Amino acid sequence: MIIVLKPGLSDADVDDVCRRITAMGYRPHTIRGELRTVIGAIGDDRGKERLRALESLPSVESVTPILQPFKLASREVRSENTTIDVAGVTIGGPRVVVMAGPCSVESRSQVLEVAEKVRAAGAAVLRGGAFKPRTSPYSFQGLEEDGLKLLDEARRETGLPVVTEVMEPDKVDVVAAHSDILQIGARNVQNFSLLRRVAEAGKPVLLKRGMSTSIQEWLLSAEYVLSGGNPDVILCERGIRTFETATRFTLDLNAVPVLKKLTHLPVLVDPSHGTGHWEYVESMAMAAVASGADGLLIEVHPHPEEALSDGPQSLKPERFAALMARVRRVAQALDRDL
Ligand code: PEP
Ligand code: MN
């Protein structure tokens, strides 16, 4: 249920309503908007008639059910867009945020070279995988903790915050210690124990869509993180499985306006995995921004032909710089910047 409070209440008034919600066996989630404070009461729907009684309090304007199955992720609970600050970079605000870097961290020189070049081209966040979810157990699995240390060095050299993937609950603490945003990959979007664990890690979470995950299922995965106490979830569309084989996945840009309607969370698009071919990445990056995405996740490698993972979809740094110049013009046409 959503408990909408009257404007201008004191913290003590808000606390009083939260206490009553807790006493009824629900968990209160307070969302302070610019105009109003709203409390989401999360718990077993069967007792919702008791919550309705709160409407008789002078501090409460209305008590209404949340219609969507995802609650805290829903625009019903929070109408304003969520913005997430990561080391001075605002995700979900007017600026389109580009996160770029190699699929995998492979060596010191590789990651430092890419980091400096994507920074110079205007990327705001460095991406790079140290723990890699590979389809084959015989493929390169990542440099693991050595890779995390190289990402630390790249952050120091460039000032860029870092997003990197965590695959296992047991590794959340170590990955969180070396990253500014925790990436949950497409293959783990419904790994509920991992989602519960990253909710406690104190770092924003970039939640990729699964390749066979509906938008509703994806938002319910986001709900695991939000209801676990972490409000900083960034969604990332990265392509879904369809009958089409000309591209690696089918980038579902429909998802962007659908998500913008359903949720207040920031939405990124990954045109690298979404297409699987470097020559389609720029077009789909521009299309993603035109469709309303808050940012992009793009793979860049100094020598894609030598990459240990995802070389065919990786851009050379010069092509990434050219992409940025064209995407910037699209962003500006929409009164955004990059
Ligand atoms: C990645 O970002 O390199 C990655 C493995 O992505 P996904 O989980 O979307 O396949
Ligand atoms: Mn990749």
Percent of the chain scoring above 70 in pLDDT: 100
Which atom of ligand 1 is least distant from the CA of 270? 9
Q: Where are the domains of the chain?
A: 2-64, 84-333
pLDDT of residue 122: 98
pLDDT of residue 31: 87
* Closest CA to ligand 1's atom 2: 103
Class of domain 84-333: alpha beta
Residue 112 Cα to ligand 1 middle (Å): 21
Give the closest residue to 295 by CA, choosing from 322, 321, 256, 326: 256
Q: Please state, as a whole number, how many other Cβ atoms lie within 10 Å of the Cβ of residue 159.
A: 12
Q: Which helix (H) or strand (E) holds 100?
A: strand 97-101
- Average pLDDT over every residue of 301-324: 98
Ligand 1 close to Cβ of residue 103 (< 6 A) = yes
Integer-rounded Cα Rg, in Å, for the chain is 21
Give the closest residue to 301 by CA, choosing from 106, 139, 120: 106
- For 139-216, where are the E strands, in sequence order? 162-165, 181-184, 205-208
Which atom of ligand 1 is least distant from the CA of 208? 9
Ligand 1 close to Cβ of residue 300 (< 6 A) = no
Residue 47 pLDDT more than 90?
no
Q: What is the tens place of the pLDDT at every residue in 57-99?
A: 999 999 999 889 999 999 999 999 999 999 999 999 999 999 9
pLDDT of residue 43: 86
* Closest CA to ligand 1's atom 1: 103
Given pLDDT bands bounded at 50, 70 and 90, which one contains residue 302?
very high
Residue 180 Cα to ligand 2 middle (Å): 19
pTM recorded for the entire structure: 0.95
Residue 200: phi and psi, rounded to 5, are -100, 0
What CATH number does domain 2-64 carry, 3.40.640.10, 3.30.70.1140, 3.30.420.40, 3.40.50.1000?
3.30.70.1140
Ligand 1 close to Cβ of residue 129 (< 6 A) = yes
8 Å CB contact between 225 and 202: no
